[in-house]
Amino acid sequence: MIGLAHYLVLSGILFSIGLFGVMKRKNLLMLFFSTEILLNAVNIGFVAVGRFYGDMSGQIFAFFIIAVAASEVAVGLGLIVLWYKRTGSIDLDSLQMMKG
């Protein structure tokens, strides 16, 4: 029997994977994928908890997260394109002009 706990654990594992990716990935695209994983991990949790309480707001939240994630991708990809045009690289370490 799969209960709420399983969904939450799955959500937690996915979130950790996402965090790991955010910390480790040096490629900007991969970094964005990781943040998508973060958000979708949360989505799973929201839907499961919403179902558990018999409450709609969990699902609604998940929908909004999907929408926001989509727009984030739009903006994020735009920025990557700009950067790639300027520098010819989407490596994270090329973003080191400002520090200190």
Partner 1 sequence: MLEPISISLQALNLPSLLPVGILIVGAIFIIVLDLVTKSGSKSFYTMLSILFILLDLGVVIGYYGEARGMFDLVLVDGIAKISQIIVLVTSAFFLLLAMSQRRFQEFSMAEFYALFLFMIAGFQFMTISDNLILIFVGLETASLSLYTMIAMHNRKKAFEAAIKYFTMGALAAGFYTMGSLLFYALTGSIEIHEIANRVILNDNLSVVALIAATIFMIGALGFKISIVPFHTWTPDIYEGSSAALAGYMSIVPKIAGFVVAMRLFEALLNLNVLWIENMFYILVIATMTVGNITALVQEDVKRMLAYSSIAHAGFVLSAILIGTSEANSGLFLYWILFMFTNLGAFTVLWMTRHKKNLWDERYQHPFVKFKGLAKINPFMATMMAFFMFSLAGVPPLSVFWGKLYLISAAVNAGFIYLAIFMALNSAIAVYYYMKLVIFMFLMEPASEEKAIFTTNATPVLKVVLAVAVAFTIFASLFIDKILAFIIYHVTMSGF
Partner 2 sequence: MEKYLYITLFAPLVGSLIAAFFAAKPKELYTGILTSALVGISFLSSIVLLNYVDADTILHVKMMDWISVGNLSIPFGFVVDQVSIIMMVTVTFVSTIVHIYSIGYMEHDKSFNRFFSYLSAFVFSMLILVMSDNFIGLFIGWEGVGLCSWMLIGFWYHKQSASWAANEAFIMNRIADLGMLMGLFLIYWEIGSFQYDIVFANILNLNINTVTWIGSFLFIGAMGKSAQFPFHTWLADAMEGPTPVSALIHAATMVTAGVYLIIRASDIYFLIPDVGYVIASLGAFVAVFAASMALVNRDLKRIIAYSTLSQLGYMFVAAGLGAYWIALFHLMTHAFFKSLLFLGAGNVMHAMNDELDIKKMGGLYQSMRATAILMTIASIALAGIYPFAGFFSKDKILEVAFNHEAYLLWFALFIGAGMTAFYSFRLVMMVFFGEQVHKRLGFHPHEARPFVIYALTPLALLSIVAGFLEYSFHAFVIDLLRDYKFTLDHSVGWMLIVATTAIALSGIAFAVYKYKRGGFGAGVESLGIYKLLVNQYYIPQFYNNAILKPFAAISTFFWKQIDLKIVDATVDLIGKMFYNAGGKTRQIQSGNLSSMLRWMVAGIAVMLVLAIILRPMV
- For partner 2, the binding residues (CB under 8 A) are 19, 22-24, 26, 92-93, 95-100
At its nearest, how many Å lie between partner 2 and the CB of residue 98?
Answer: 5
27, β-bridge pairs: 91
Which one, 1 or 74, has the nearer CB to partner 1? 74
Stretch 76-95 residues interacting with partner 1 (CB under 8 A): 76, 78-80, 82-83, 86-87, 95
Which one, 24 or 68, has the nearer CB to partner 1? 68
Identify what 93 binds: partner 1, partner 2, none; CB under 5 to 8 Å per kind: partner 2
3-state secondary structure the chain: CCCHHHHHHHHHHHHHHHHHHHHHCCEHHHHHHHHHHHHHHHHHHHHHHHHHHCCCHHHHHHHHHHHHHHHHHHHHHHHHHHHHHHHCCCEHHHCCCCCC
49 touches partner 1 (CB under 8 A): yes
Q: Give the position of tokens 């920025």.
A: 79
Which one, 1 or 84, has the nearer CB to partner 1? 84
